[in-house]
Structure 1
């Protein structure tokens, strides 16, 4: 697998020099200053590409060309924004970038209640706490019909939990849930978030799924024409939030997309953390089943609680068999004679990154540690497959 690293551009606290020192050879990036649905220009793509190549790295994956809410709801100027998306695909293809990762999550991008959850070793991790989420959804946001989406025992626990919150906790969780994610297309106030939720009020799961199929059919022809592989990212978390429909949370969801749009350009980002937070997903089996459709991999691990909460664990710990996943991916690469770009995802905040300005989940040392561990697994798997060790 090709070892890559997500880089948020010139303002990222982790520099391209740091990336090289971590041992990555490729970059995953996007034009985050052009994330409102406008068409990316060849000149802007080439500026970013030149920065990356000057540092001795290659730009291998675009993550992500934004998919605005108009496209997901098929309202407003969605036709123009789909055309802009196609133009962006053409621009990155002309620059030699052949994989585009995107997601189709309604309103929210990846979502966590805690960005600095304390670990026993003194570091911190990202965490999604279902009780804290329920407290915000039902008692702070007061979303219409929110109570129907949570079992009574969860709401009872949320009331007890909220009573123990310090004064600043509600504002912190609100920021984490609706006002922050690196490079998110839109950040919300409570009022604007509720208004945006209303745009989805009558859109069912099957309705949003059909909109996904229509969108991918629209862009897959362009991607196939210019030699780009599309790699949808799974929902994160892989279950409904805020009453919004989810359409890519399970193996069955992703297979429905492949069946609906059989183009070879239509593929998946195998995010072991996002899929892995849903206990119904077997990541080793999914890697084997998706095979040639896997165009990109996010390798991270999660540890789940019985109530649906989870935290980002060490890359080789948690509930996903990371060694089995890597072995399956290496088998795909050998069988198909190709290299799958991968990146370590969502590292812990550790060592002297603590206290620095970082994008939560994207600090340098935690991801460097994860990449080193994953690299060790890859080399060991290769040694076993070559018969050098037994």
Structure 2
């Protein structure tokens, strides 16, 4: 695999030298300074590449390996007539990225919120801090802080009543903290959505059910994936995080069936997957190793992290990378076999970009200001563990008989 880390740009407290010293060859970044829906100009793309590669002549080289993310405008997700212009802008951005030699582009199709947690500093048994999602806490926000119309129907009565009691005992600071955590914007942003006006954003999806959102996703990919295919760019959708509906909003990239439907909607190799074991692993009905095997030829980017489901299965926290509910050995083995299949079939570049997704805030980073989930030391630990696992699997496979050649079949 091509080992990478996410970098949020020059303002990121984790430096490019930190990423080099972690053992990475690739950087995962984006032009966060540009508004969603704008065309990414070649000049801005090359400027970011120059920053990433500035020290390459004197130090271990880095390159911009993956765009994460090229965001999809809400107009496209809602299927409004103006989506045609935003789709044209997206196609133009892909052309400009290809002109600069960037060939892997991650995106997601989650309405309004990119990802959701209720605690950004959950204390683990070793004293490190992790991201956590608690269904009852989310109900507190939805029922008592936002007071979304019709929200009560989305929660079990016992959860709703417990949420109301919890809210009654919360301080103003606790309420503000939960609100800001739930409304946190895109990863890398320190700004949350404003509570005032947030309900309006939800209301704009009132007539959009899962079938409609899925149709809008399929329409989008049918317009952009053929362009990406011509350009030699791989698009890779990130699964929903968490992989179930929230705030009355549908989510349609949560299961193997969702993925199969998306790939069938536009049957070209460029229409691919960001295989995130953390997001998909929140659901007990997602067999991660089986998904890696079934869709291996569509995996263009890998996020390896392990989430741990709690007593209420809708509750989860970010576990250590080799712990949690993900069978990381089985997953990484399937990914290594997929890379070997690509090499055996002469498919050119066979190393799939991988980053250790999220990481605990630990050691010196407990005193440092970092983006939630993106501290340096926690991700360094995760990458070290994952690299060791990958190394052991490759040595073990080399000692076995040559693996059966697996032929990728595009889903009709």
TM-score between the two structures when normalised by the length of structure 2: 0.92
Tell me the alpha carbon deviations over residues 183-223 of structure 1, each in whole angstroms, 9 at most, x when there is no partner. Answer: 46984212221000010001010000000000011101110
Task: State the match for 1:313 in structure 2.
Answer: 319
Tell me the alpha carbon deviations over residues 20-58 of structure 1, each in whole angstroms, 9 at most, x when there is no partner. Answer: 011111011100011321000011100111111223201
Task: State the match for 1:268 in structure 2.
Answer: 273
- Assess if the C-alpha contact under 8 Å between 2:302 and 2:354 holds in 1: yes
Partners of 2:199 and 2:62 in 1: CA distance: 42
Unaligned runs of 5+ residues in structure 2 are 56-60, 344-349, 401-412
Partners of 1:349 and 1:202 in 2: CA distance: 40
Alignment of 1:335-374 (within 5 A): 335-337=341-343, 338-374=350-386
Task: State the match for 1:27 in structure 2.
Answer: 27
**Alignment match of 1:64 (pick from 69, 72, 76):** 69
Q: Return the offset for 1:154.
A: 1.1
Q: 1:110–1:375: structure 2 CA closer, same or farther, 3 Å change rule?
A: same
Task: State the match for 1:293 in structure 2.
Answer: 298
Q: 1:330–1:93: structure 2 CA closer, same or farther, 3 Å change rule?
A: same
Task: State the match for 1:15 in structure 2.
Answer: 15
Partners of 1:134 and 1:305 in 2: CA distance: 17
Q: Does 1:283 align with 2:288?
A: yes
Secondary structure class of the residue paired with 1:3: strand
Partners of 2:83 and 2:271 in 1: CA distance: 20
- Assess if the C-alpha contact under 8 Å between 2:240 and 2:253 holds in 1: yes
Task: State the match for 2:3 in structure 1.
Answer: 3
- Assess if the C-alpha contact under 8 Å between 1:68 and 1:185 holds in 2: no
Partners of 1:107 and 1:130 in 2: CA distance: 19
TM-score between the two structures when normalised by the length of structure 1: 0.97
Q: Return the offset for 1:66.
A: 1.2
My pick for the range that moved more, 113-122 or 153-162, is 153-162
Q: Return the offset for 1:305.
A: 1.4
Secondary structure class of the residue paired with 2:170: coil
Partners of 2:157 and 2:338 in 1: CA distance: 45
- Assess if the C-alpha contact under 8 Å between 1:115 and 1:360 holds in 2: yes
Tell me the alpha carbon deviations over residues 143-184 of structure 1, each in whole angstroms, 9 at most, x when there is no partner. Answer: 010001111111122123323433311111111111444346
Partners of 2:233 and 2:316 in 1: CA distance: 34
Secondary structure class of the residue paired with 2:70: coil
- Assess if the C-alpha contact under 8 Å between 2:114 and 2:241 holds in 1: yes
Q: Return the offset for 1:250.
A: 0.8
Task: State the match for 2:393 in structure 1.
Answer: 381
- Count of residue pairs the alignment pairs up: 389
Q: 1:111–1:299: structure 2 CA closer, same or farther, 3 Å change rule?
A: same
Partners of 2:134 and 2:397 in 1: CA distance: 40
Q: 1:169–1:36: structure 2 CA closer, same or farther, 3 Å change rule?
A: same
Secondary structure class of the residue paired with 2:64: strand
- Assess if the C-alpha contact under 8 Å between 1:35 and 1:66 holds in 2: no
Moved over 4 A (4+): 183-187
Unaligned runs of 5+ residues in structure 1 are none
Q: Return the offset for 1:64.
A: 0.7
Q: Does 1:92 align with 2:97?
A: yes
- The two structures, once aligned, show a CA RMSD in angstroms of 1.5
Q: Does 1:193 align with 2:198?
A: yes
Task: State the match for 1:112 in structure 2.
Answer: 117
